[in-house]
Amino acid sequence: MLPPSDVAYRIDATDRIVTVSDGWVSFAEANGGERVLPPRILGTSLWSSIADSATREVYRVMLGRVRKGVGAVRFQFRCDSPDVRRLLEMQVTVSGGDEVAFQTHLVQSQPRTEVGALHSDTTRSEAILTICGWCMQVPVNGEWLEIEEAITALGLFAGSATPQLSHGMCPACYSTMMATLDDPALSAGGQVTVGALP
């Protein structure tokens, strides 16, 4: 589960992470995220944490929009753990000058049978499996499926090790987010969900 306090961080005018909340630290510690604790993350570029080109484009447009003073951006997305599906809401706002604040809170969660492929300490093969970091779905033969369905369809546990997970952005989430960012009323309303719970 998410900690009681929101998970939040702030970037400066050069897009470097300058603060993280206590909720960020608690969440990282509870989820094997030692690599994103303050000593390792503060002062680093936001962009060093976003490898996927579609996600980078969404963040570039989002930052441009909030820095121009058009208003806040609010949307809901998935952030699952091995045994819980979670729907979160993120709000992105200007925080003085060109600094930008990102604040995330839990909207809804539902327990599920544990998915070993989502454990950070799972033994991994050399194979790479893409998972959308916004809706948590996996591509299978041109269709994006919930990870449980994808595991069955791809026979992931037929071998000895689970593929490495590479977080990207599916076409549906990309299109939804870009359309949202084009509409100030929609992006400020918080009603857009790119990763609804099943």
Per residue in 69-120, pLDDT tens?
Answer: 888 999 999 998 888 999 999 999 998 778 999 999 999 999 988 887 777 6
Domain limits, the chain: 7-114+170-189
What does the DSSP 8-state code read for residue 193?
A: B
Task: Provide the 3-class DSSP secondary structure of residue 74.
Answer: strand
Query: What is the number of other CB atoms lying within 10 angstroms of the CB of residue 186?
Result: 17
Among the residue ranges 43-57, 79-93, 116-130, 135-149, the one predicted with the least confidence is 116-130
Residue 149 has pLDDT above 80, yes or no: yes
Report the CATH fold assignment for 7-114+170-189. Beta-Lactamase (3.30.450)
pLDDT digits (tens, 9 = 90+) for 1-50: 455 568 999 999 999 999 999 989 988 887 777 888 899 999 999 999 99
